[in-house]
């Protein structure tokens, strides 16, 4: 499941739909890891983070900075239920991936 959401000034992202797809409810403990181009969120028994009461996740400032996600920025949320992972993608990553797809599509179209 995919969703687009905007981080609030504190770095919280509303994620009710994708959290529901993962079966995560308010109070669920989470582990949040910043990777090279995205933030991975997994359920954890003793995680330092938690799903908020309104179905939001507070993304730590260090993770946001690592991935160049500013407060108020739009992000793509990807729930991967088979792996029990929520991936937070900055729009810069989405733009780059779509640029590649569109370039290939147009090249194929022009070759007809």
The bridge status of strand 49-50 relative to strand 2-6 is unpaired
The reported pLDDT for the residue numbered 112 is 85
Work out the percent of the chain whose per-residue pLDDT is above 90: 93
What's the pTM value of the predicted model, to 2 decimals? 0.89
The reported pLDDT for the residue numbered 108 is 92
Q: Which contiguous run of DSSP H or E holds residue 34?
A: strand 29-34
d(CA 40, CA 78): 10
pLDDT(26) > 90: yes
Q: Which contiguous run of DSSP H or E holds residue 15?
A: none
Q: Which domain holds residue 24?
A: 2-110
Count the domains in the chain: 1
Burial class (CB in 10 A: 0-12, 13-18, 19+), 62: exposed
Work out the percent of the chain whose per-residue pLDDT is above 70: 100
Per-residue pLDDT tens for 74-106?
999 999 999 999 999 999 999 989 999 999 999
């Amino acid at each position: 499941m995919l969703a687009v959401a905007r981080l609030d000034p504190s770095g919280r992202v509303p994620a009710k739909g994708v959290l529901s797809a993962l079966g995560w409810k308010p109070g669920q403990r989470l582990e949040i890891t910043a990777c090279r181009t995205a933030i991975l969120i997994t359920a954890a028994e003793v995680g330092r983070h938690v799903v908020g009461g309104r179905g939001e996740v507070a993304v730590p400032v260090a993770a946001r900075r690592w991935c160049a996600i500013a407060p108020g920025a739009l992000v793509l949320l990807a729930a991967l239920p088979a792996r029990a992972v929520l991936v937070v993608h900055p729009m810069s990553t989405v733009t780059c991936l779509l640029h590649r797809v569109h370039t290939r599509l147009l090249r194929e179209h022009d070759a007809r």
